[in-house]
Amino acid sequence: MAKMLNDSVVARWTALILIALMMFFAYMFVDVMSPLKSLIESARGWDSGAFGTYAASEYILNVCGFLILAGIILDKMGIRFTGTLSASLMVLGAAIKFVGVSEWFQGTGFNAWLDSWWTAMPGSAKMASLGFMIFGCGCEMAGTTVSKSIAKWFKGKEMALAMGLEMAIARLGVFAVMWLAPIISNSFDQSVVAPVGFCTVLLLIGLINYIVFSVMDSKFDKQLVAAGMATEEKSPEDEFHIRDLGKIFSSKMFWLVALLCVLYYSAIFPFQRYAPNYLEVTLGVDNATASQLFSFFPILAMCLTPLLGIFLDRKGKGATMLMLGAIIMIVCHLSFAFVLPLYPHKWLAVTLIAVLGVSFSLVPAALWPSVPKIIDEKILGSAYCLIFWVQNIGLCLVPLLIGKVLQSTGGYLAPMIIFSSFGILAFIFSFLLKAEDRRKGYGLELPNVVKKDE
């Protein structure tokens, strides 16, 4: 058989770096406002409810059905078209959000009209939420596209390692923005606009990266056609029919994975939005210090995720890792609720944050490489999007819930208990997933790398 482009170590890892950098910039933009919660409230008149609505807006259109459409687009149009579209939507949404939080927008007639319409939120929050909604469509679509791209380029190779490295690079964006956002803001006289503008430019660079990857992927597809492994019209993973969605919805394993996913991530990503402010309140520090402390959250995740990917590729045990990750998350959130307020020390906060990052390594590293084992390749894109769709329902509703609870109670005890309860439910579904895999033999506990003599 002729050597394919993805058989080249340099080519396939270059492809990974290009798409991982796009997600790195996306993750930076997702959390660019988290360290600025106190500042945006004082500078633009937001409150915790408005901030919660803004945080939830990233997922609203996805929950309303966009992610289902995104899955169909991905499986019908392929990774090149869908990835470029998703990166473009991220840039568009970021630009709208940038306008919404800018100083000059505050004096416009349009902002005055937004202020008068649905008075529960300032006009700047509504405009920022609109941009974040559009960005969210692109970001979630990009996440599924990247997963399918890696599954294509690393099939039969180091898939879990590649997915782990992509997640590690993306999470480095959380670390970077927790440090950079306050620094950039302070450099521009406590500006909210400067950090948002900086991350918007980075998203544009991410779009360029994906276009370069698309050129490489086009060459790869031509090789597949020449080798008789694909037709001119479609590569193997792109052959899709709408009726195939029924196969996904009828799969018990799909629902176990999707429910585990929504419960686990509902205790992680919404927590990220409020964590810097939680540390401000609990430790009595300023927002820059709180953001820097929370920046240690992805550190162990960044280091461990690739190593866990190697372990999964060589040894397996994916379902077991899901259970362990859920247990660690439960312990951490209960400690945030009851232990840290009693012993408000920075070293304890950093320890809990870093250990939570271990959980954030175990679960995603095991979860996403497991999906190709339970879903046919030609509907893999739709499966990822539907999992993300279920996940986005939680990610949309939970920030709203936390914002309202925080506004009514004035403290973080109840929100942390809510996050802990999600972890308990996630553990239950991880246990059910492992039991179902044992009965049906999907191979979630088996290694990913296929040996040449097999």
User: pLDDT tens-digit profile of 277-296?
Assistant: 999 999 999 888 998 899 88
Mean pLDDT, all residues of the chain: 87
- CATH code: domain 5-440 is 1.20.1250.20
Summarize pLDDT for 124-165 with one digit per residue, the tens: 999 999 999 999 999 989 988 898 899 888 887 887 788 878
- pLDDT for 223 equals 85
CB neighbour list of residue 216: distance below 8 Å, 6 or more residues apart: 5, 11, 14, 15, 18
- Give the closest residue to 395 by CA, choosing from 71, 70, 55: 55
- pLDDT for 49 equals 84
> Which residue has better confidence, 312 or 390?
390
Distance linking the first and last C-alpha atoms of the chain: 17
Q: What is the DSSP string of 255-292?
A: HHHHHHHHHHHHTTHHHHHHHHHHHHHHHT--HHHHHH
**Length of the chain (residues):** 454
Q: How confident is the model at residue 232 (pLDDT cuts 50, 70, 90)?
A: very low
- pLDDT for 180 equals 93
* pLDDT(231) > 60: no
- pLDDT for 230 equals 58
Summarize pLDDT for 175-218 with one digit per residue, the tens: 899 899 999 999 998 899 999 999 999 999 999 999 999 999 99
> Of the ranges 18-22, 141-145, 206-210, 423-427, which one carries the lowest mean pLDDT score?
141-145
- pLDDT for 199 equals 96
Q: How far apart are CA 427 and CA 221, in angstroms?
A: 40
- Give the closest residue to 142 by CA, choosing from 94, 95, 202, 82: 82
- Give the closest residue to 269 by CA, choosing from 139, 441, 112: 139
Token pair 């840290």 is found at 340
Domain ranges of the chain: 5-440
- pLDDT for 241 equals 59
Whether the Cβ atoms of residue 125 and residue 44 lie closer than 8 Å to each other? yes
- pLDDT for 451 equals 58
Summarize pLDDT for 395-408 with one digit per residue, the tens: 889 988 998 899 89
- pLDDT for 379 equals 75
**Is the model's pTM score more than 0.85?**
no
Most confident of 45-49, 374-378, 434-438: 434-438
Percentage of the chain lying above the pLDDT 90 cut: 44
- Residue range 368-388: average pLDDT? 78
- Residue range 319-331: average pLDDT? 92
Neighbours of 75 (CB within 10 A): 28
- Residue range 375-389: average pLDDT? 77
* pLDDT(450) > 70: no
Summarize pLDDT for 94-120 with one digit per residue, the tens: 999 999 999 889 888 898 888 888 767
* pLDDT(354) > 70: yes
Summarize pLDDT for 236-275 with one digit per residue, the tens: 444 555 666 777 888 888 899 899 999 999 999 899 889 9
- pLDDT for 453 equals 47
Summarize pLDDT for 31-67 with one digit per residue, the tens: 999 888 888 888 888 888 888 889 889 888 888 888 8
* H-helix segments, 36-192: 37-44, 48-61, 67-77, 79-101, 103-106, 109-116, 123-153, 159-187
- pLDDT for 237 equals 46
Q: How confident is the model at residue 454 (pLDDT cuts 50, 70, 90)?
A: very low
- pLDDT for 130 equals 95
- pLDDT for 233 equals 44
